[in-house]
Amino acid sequence: MADQIYFEDVHEGLELPALIKTPAPADLVMFAGAVGDFAPVSYDLPYAHEVGLDNIVIQGGLKTAYLGQLLHDWMGPQGVIRRLGCQYRGMDYPNRPLTCRGVVTRTYESDGQALVDLEVWTENAEGFRTSPGSATVALPRRG
Amino acid sequence: MAESVITDALRALIGVDTDERVAEVTTTGCRLFARAVGHTDLVYYDEGAARARGYRSVIAPPGYLGTPIYAPGAADTPAVPGPPNSPYPRILNGGTTYEYFDTLVAGDVVTSRRRITGFQEREGSIGPMLLTTSETTFTRQDGTVVAKMYATAINY
């Protein structure tokens, strides 16, 4: 986890340090248990084959959560996620690198809060953005 | 043009609160979710670390809104909230957006209510599709709305 980022340190176009995830099937099982969603397509390989997939697929919610980690680890402990969302445009599979990236699109104040809008996404090994999305975070100020 | 699959019966569902569920934010749930994601910040795992940052207990990682309370025979929480009696059998999660108003901490109990906000028909590469947009409101035990989730389900 990085040091604290302050609002004054951030500008439009700033790129976040990439976060690379290579989930194991066990991670998908843990996620299923935590959220109580046991759709077999994310842990039952014979079932995945039956429905025409080559492999079990990473839950969309887990990919959104990866983008949450991208933001949290970049901001530091005092940063707060106000909004985070993405579309699911492509399937991703375990044991392959999935890169989470973000770039600042706007910095502004609203109701006394120092806010930052970002474009965030997951990218597969081929460079395709499987989960394009956006976020708004609140950052502390210096001094 | 083919007849619309958005029937009056479907349209009548728009704006109606439905699917009330209760979920618990637990220390074990926070840790399991954080471990699934690969978080390294101890605020999601260690009560001492969380208290040192001013929280009552470990906090819910981004995207974790509690583990639904299960009883034998209960249906699991669908990740993709589509319409009942969909005209197309298969379903995909089109995307989700979370809006947060407060931080959830282990010990919180969250009640969620979902309402369908609209239907759209589209012709995609996978054939005709029905898009269902919904809004889920998450309310903590003290009555505070802590989060909203906006989701799109794609039936095809």
Give the integer Cα–Cα distance in Å for B33 and B69. Answer: 16
pLDDT band at B125 (very low <50, low <70, confident <90, very high): confident
Are the Cβ atoms of A35 and B77 closer than 8 angstroms?
yes
Domains and CATH numbers, chain B: 1-25+79-156 (3.10.129.10), 26-64 (no CATH)
- Taking the CA of residue B131 and the nearest CA in chain A, the distance in Å comes to 13
Give the model's pLDDT for residue B2: 61
Q: Burial, A13: exposed, middle or buried (Cβ in 10 Å; 0-12, 13-18, 19+)?
A: exposed
Q: What is the pLDDT of residue A134?
A: 98
Instruction: Say if residue B92's pLDDT is above 90.
Output: no
pLDDT per position as a tens digit, A87-109 = 999 999 999 999 999 999 999 99
Average pLDDT over residues B69-86: 77
**pLDDT the model gives residue B85:** 77
Question: A21 near A66, Cβ under 8 Å?
Answer: yes
pLDDT at B79 over 70: no
Mean pLDDT of A26-35: 97
Provide the pLDDT for residue B148: 98
Which chain B residues have any C-beta within 8 angstroms of a chain A C-beta? Answer: 23, 29, 32-33, 35-41, 43, 53, 61-64, 67-68, 70, 76-80, 92-100, 103, 150, 152
Mean predicted confidence (pLDDT) in B125-140: 93
Count, residues in chain B: 156
Report the pLDDT value the prediction gives residue A12, as an integer from 0 to 100: 98
Residue A2 is predicted with a pLDDT of: 62
For residue A1, the model assigns a pLDDT of 55
Q: Which residues of chain B are within 8 Å of residue A88 when distances are taken between CB atoms?
A: 92-95
Taking the CA of residue B112 and the nearest CA in chain A, the distance in Å comes to: 13
For residue A14, the distance in angstroms to the closest alpha carbon of chain B comes to: 22
Q: Which domains does chain A have, with CATH numbers?
A: 7-138 (3.10.129.10)
Contact B31, A62 (CB under 8 A): no
Give me the pLDDT at residue B124, please.
81
Q: Is the pLDDT of residue B145 over 80?
A: yes
Q: What percent of chain B has pLDDT over 90?
A: 69
Mean pLDDT of the region B72-101? 83
- For tokens 């583990």, the residue is B67
- What integer pLDDT is reported at residue B19 of this predicted model? 78
Q: Tokens in use for A110?
A: 């609203």
Chain A residues at the B interface, defined by Cβ less than 8 Å, are 1, 21, 23, 27-28, 30-31, 33-39, 59-62, 64-69, 71-73, 77, 80-88, 133
User: Which residue in B97, B103, B136 has the most chain A C-beta atoms within 10 A of its own C-beta, making it the best mutation to test that interface?
Assistant: B97
Is the per-residue pLDDT at A115 higher than 60? Answer: yes
pLDDT in tens, A42-64: 999 999 999 999 999 999 999 99
Q: How far apart are CA B153 and CA B57, in angstroms?
A: 34
State how far the Cα of A55 lies from the Cα of A91, in Å rounded to an integer.
10
For residue A136, pLDDT over 80 is answered with yes
**Structure tokens that stand for B137 in this block:** 């409101």
Task: Look at residue A100 in the predicted model and tell me its pLDDT.
Answer: 98
pLDDT at residue number B156: 87
ipTM of the complex: 0.96
Are B58 and B41 within 8 A, CB to CB?
Answer: no
In sequence order, what are the beta bridge partners of B96? A86, B151
Contact list, A27 vs chain B (CB under 8 Å): 35-38
User: Quick one: A65 exposed, middle or buried, by C-beta within 10 A (0-12, 13-18, 19+)?
Assistant: buried
* pLDDT given at position A105: 98
How wide is the angle at C-alpha B109 spanned by C-alphas B106 and B115, nearest 5°? 130
**B78 against A50, higher pLDDT:** A50
